[in-house]
Amino acid sequence: MSASSSAPARDRLRIAIQKSGRLADPARSLLAACGLSWRQSRDKLFCFGESLPVDLLLVRDDDIPGLIADGVCDLGVVGLNELDEQAKARRRAGLADAYQPLRGLGFGQCRLMLAVPDEWDWQGPAQLAGKRIATSYPAILAAWLQEQGVEAQVVELSGSVEIAPKLGTADLICDLVSSGATLAANQLKPVQTLLDSEAVLAGPVHALDDARAGLMAMLLRRLDGLSKVQDRKLLMFSAAEERVDALARLLPDAEPLLRLPAEGGAVRLQTMCNGALSWQRLEELERAGAQELMVLAVEKSLA
Ligand code: PRP
Ligand code: ZN
């Protein structure tokens, strides 16, 4: 069942996040950085929003798309892999789309990959014909196989996919790879990417029509503000006038240097930089005549 307009109007937004696992802590931190805070409940599955009427539901990540589809939750932080798998499964079952990714969140990066036993000589998808592939992502895998025009057998497993080749229940696997340690430990090697994934904020396909709509818009705007400033650093320093041009040349990836009023001969300068400013880079600037170097992280922005 999907959220319908006959559902009772709600004035609190409900966000589902993973209770424990890779995405749990970053999801909470990100929402906290958006200005949300919660009263921790005793059962720790529901957190009542204090700063804003935005509550958290702590669940298994696999349950998040369904909770959005059923209108139990309005938003969820979930891996694109899980969202895409369940969306494809719905479509195969003839069901209408019920959720969509709204924003990539920049953490939880991983890939859904085919991995084969180390001793295989991988020559491409055609080699998969007639093979058994173990996976927890049967819909994505089936769609990919179809795209490739390859007929292989999809063996659906809910966990411990990586030991299937050793147990003889499959010839190869299709699973998430992050560091690659799990594959290596099971004498498997990744050979083909099916999906690049990261954590996303997922939401309904239809706009909400009560007080939650405004809360959702505000949250999205704050998220955008955070992602805009995430890698931005304000660099401040002073220098003698005749060194300014040389210093500017050492900062090709920064915005044009802004001069601030200063006393005496030195010029006060500042600029916004994208990405990290390493110690090495600061020392290089210092050798070129920059003094009193200071790097400030940007915390919020409503540009
Ligand atoms: C994935 C995958 C592997 C592991 C790979 O599980 O199923 O077990 O991560 O990571 P590695 O390449 O760093 O070794 P995940 O932690 O995402 O849990 P879930 O699939 O059960 O949600
Ligand atoms: Zn999971």
Q: What is the CATH number of the domain that holds 32?
A: 3.40.190.10
CA of residue 87 to ligand 1 center, whole Å: 20
CA of residue 82 to ligand 2 center, whole Å: 7
- d(CA 170, CA 283) in angstroms, rounded, equals 55
Sign of CA dihedral 205, 206, 210, 215: positive
In terms of domains, do 100 and 148 share one?
Answer: no
In terms of domains, do 168 and 216 share one?
Answer: no
Closest to 65 (Cα-Cα) out of 99, 107, 15, 108: 99
Q: Is residue 165 part of a domain?
A: yes
- pLDDT tens track for 110-143: 999 999 999 999 999 999 999 999 999 999 999 9
CA 52 to chain CA mean position, Å: 23
Joined together, the tokens standing for residue 140 give: 């994505």
- Ligand with the closest atom to the CA of 163: 1
**pLDDT value, residue 124:** 96
Q: Which domain holds residue 152?
A: 110-196
**pLDDT value, residue 2:** 45
**pLDDT value, residue 171:** 98
- d(CA 236, CA 301) in angstroms, rounded, equals 19
Q: Read off the pTM.
A: 0.86
On the question of pLDDT at 251 being above 60, the answer is yes
Residue 180 bridge partners (DSSP): none
E-only strand ranges, the chain = 13-18, 38-40, 46-49, 54-59, 75-79, 100-104, 110-117, 132-135, 153-156, 172-177, 188-197, 199-203, 232-240, 258-260, 266-274, 291-297
In terms of domains, do 213 and 172 share one?
Answer: no
Number of the ligand 1 atom closest to the C-alpha atom of 161: 7
- d(CA 63, CA 79) in angstroms, rounded, equals 12
CA of residue 64 to ligand 1 center, whole Å: 17
- d(CA 60, CA 68) in angstroms, rounded, equals 13
Choose the residue to mutate in 22, 109, 176, 197 for probing ligand 1, maximizing ligand atoms within 8 Å of C-beta. 176
By alpha-carbon position, which residue is closest to atom 3 of ligand 1?
176
Q: Is residue 33 part of a domain?
A: yes
- d(CA 108, CA 160) in angstroms, rounded, equals 20
Q: Sorting pLDDT into bands at 50, 70 and 90, what band is 231?
A: confident
Measured CA angle at 298 (ends 295, 301), to 5 deg: 155
State how many domains the chain has. 3
CA of residue 156 to ligand 1 center, whole Å: 16
Q: Is residue 7 part of a domain?
A: no
How many Cβ atoms are within 10 Å of 22's Cβ, its own excluded?
A: 16
Joined together, the tokens standing for residue 216 give: 């959702």
Number of the ligand 1 atom closest to the C-alpha atom of 181: 14
Average pLDDT along the chain:
93
By alpha-carbon position, which residue is closest to atom 1 of ligand 1?
176
CA of residue 8 to ligand 2 center, whole Å: 31
